[in-house]
Each structure stands twice: as structure tokens, then as C-alpha cells.
Amino acid sequence: MHVQICIIGAGPAGLMLARLLHLAGVSSVVLESRARAYVETRVRAGLLEQGSVDLMAATGMDERLRREAMVHDGTEYIAGGQLFHVDMWDLIQRRIYIYGQQEVVKDMIAANLAAGVPVIFEAEARKVGGLDTEKPFVEYAHNGAETTVTCDFIAGCDGFHGVSRAALPDAVRRDYARDYPFGWLGILADAAPTLPELIYCQNEERGFALFTMRSPKISRCYLQVAPDESEDNWSDDRIWTELALRLGDHEGVTLSTGAITQKSVTPMRSFVSEPMRHGRLFIAGDAAHIVPPTGAKGMNLAISDVYVLSRAMTEFYKTGATARFDAYTETCLRRVWGAQHFSWWMTSMMHNLPGENAFDRKRQLAELRTVLGSRAGQTLLAENYAGLPMEM
């Protein structure tokens, strides 16, 4: 098989790239190691920036999103026992949308298959090669057979553990990482959201909590815990008790509880791999970078990466120009490092950090009050949270 673009990974990055290329008349195939049912049900991120929603609309994949997404004009923050509201629409005229990543993936898969774009599930990419030639290749296993696809370019959208990033030579690849001294205990519960908008809670004594949602009847909540904590240590009663303690007492705010259907602990880390291109291989999304979920940037960064990449590929096939290819790493990394800074800032500002003394805690609270207590601080927060315009 030969196609113009071989895309490894059927997550939001790979599927959005396939859709953008199809609309531009560029052929591709998507290889996904997991079964379709798995990728359409795995729970991941659930917040879309304005720019990601606009791109879903521009590519004709927003019909269900517009009907089912929960649209938020603002967010709530609790610091020092005080509740603050950040009105993003008033500040920057941009919104956020709550719509699970698995729902985004369902819509993208349906759109690509309806258009005749081949998405091959249970096709595990084993090797990429020929990156410095005009005919790179991907070897993959499917239905018990080894198969090779040749192409003009490879888009590695296969995550941190995929073959794509590992194919970048050690001599050129530079990795940057930070591991945080805590994790998140995350739960899904059959409970209405505590408030109509997300609540970021910094409890000076007990640590961070986040109250968010997946639908009007399903809540998604998180607690700061030790990075090696086991979810088995947390009974349902203990989780709801701790969430109530970190939320505190506020007029008009009552913790919504229900049956917990999922729970897991996720370590927190930041990671960037540079460059994002080597020869005819381009990496995007989690293959190139990971952010702590505090800033809700992971899925949105992946979509932004492939938007940049699709423009480069479209220009190449239309005119033969390679300037956008040459600028791909630099263009993407401006946004990536901006998102890394915002995610680190939100994480360090909202969490209790081991080893901090009383002075550090008081300084942290002063920072939160400075940001949340002024229009200028709230505007900075809103601009980054709702998402800056995509790089061109």
C-alpha cells in the first residue's frame, strides 16, 4: 500500500489530521493499535478550547458537539475560603466546551469513515523507517500478518509510548521533563455537577480539588494525592468526605454526590520532545509533549499541532513549497511552551507542594488573590484557559 500520508494513532490528533487532509484532497491512512470500541470509550480529557471547537465546525464534525456539549462562559475558583468567578465571555469573548474526548473521537472516526478515509484498527505500528528518503515506510501488524505501507510523509500521533518519537535519533532529540510530587485521584460519579461551571479549589490545609463534569448527570472530580497513592485506599465515603472538606462551605454551593463508577490515580508530569520533525517524520500530540491536566491543554495542543501540520502538507502538495515544513517545530513549540508555562503556573499555584513552609503557603494564597482579585489577572487567566488563537 502507498499513500501520501501515513498517520499513526487514531486519537484526536491523528483523526483531525486525516480529516483536514481529506478536505484538502490529500490521501492518508490511519493506523490504530487498539480496537475501535476501545478508543471510542476510553475516558480522557473533556474540555475543548474555543479554537478546537471552531476547527471541529470548519471540518464539519461539530453537529453532535453543538447539540450535546456543555458550554461554559466562566469558571469558579476557591482560594483562602473565598469563592471567585472568572467570566471568560465578559473578559475575552471566548468560551470553553465540556465534551468528552471519547465523544470527539467518535465524531472524528465517523466523519473519516463516511468520507472513505481508511482507519485501520488493531493495526500496531512496529517500525518506521526511510525517514531521510522520499519513500518512508511503516511496518505494522494486523490480523496476524506483517504489512508495510509506504508513503510520502509519516505523522506520528501515537502518544508517549509509540514508535514515532522513539524513531527520532538520539543525536538530534532533546527531551525536557518535570515530574510533580503528587498525583490526581480522579473519579466518575452518577451525580449532577456541584455547580454549572468548573470549580478549582485550593485548600491551604488539605490540598487541591477540582469539580468538573462530563454531562448534566455525570460528575468528574479530582483530589490531590501522593503520586504513588493507590485508589484502593480510597473508599467512596472517604472520597466524598474529602471532597466536601476541600470544597468548604460557601453560600449557594452544595456538594453533589452519587454512585462512583470509576476511580484511578494519575501521576502528574510535564514533558516536551524537540524537534517535532526528523526528515519525513512529524510527531504531534502526546508523542511530542505532555502537560499536567490542571490547565486542560492536552487534547487542545494535539489539535493545534495537526492544524499547523495540515497547512504545511496542503501547501506542499499544492505548490511544492517546504517553508511551512521547515517551520513546523518552531511554530508548534511556541504554543507548546506557552501551554507548558500556563499548566505549570496553574499547577504550582493551586496545589500544596511537599516541603513548603508556612511562608510558602501564605505567598501562594497572596498570588491567587492577586490573580483572581483583579480584572487584569483574570484576563490573563481567561486568555490562556480558553485558548489563544492557533498558530498559523
Q: Are 27 and 20 in contact (CB under 8 A)?
A: no
**Alpha carbon distance 196, 254 (integer Å):** 12
Give the whole-angstrom CA distance, residue 2 versus residue 135: 9
Phi, psi of 291, deg, nearest 5? -120, 150
Q: How many CB atoms lie within 10 A of CB 183?
A: 21
Distance in angstroms (rounded) separating the CA atoms of residues 367 and 348: 11
215 contacts 70 by C-beta, under 8 angstroms: yes
Q: Report the catalytic residues.
A: 72, 200, 293, 297, 385
How far is residue 143's CA from residue 148's CA, in Å, rounded to a whole number?
Answer: 13
Tell me the three state secondary structure of residue 248. coil
The β-bridge partners of 185 are: 223, 265
Q: Which residues contact 141 (CB under 8 A, 6 or more apart)?
A: 123, 124, 126, 147
Answer yes or no: are the C-beta atoms of 177 and 158 closer than 8 Å: no
What are the strands of the beta sheet with 47-48, ordered from one edge? Answer: 47-48, 96-98, 70-72
Is 258 strand, coil or helix? Answer: coil
Could you write out the three-class secondary structure of 280-323?
A: CEEECHHHCEECCHHHCCHHHHHHHHHHHHHHHHHHHHHHCCCH
- What's the rounded Cα separation, in Å, for the pair 384 and 343? 9
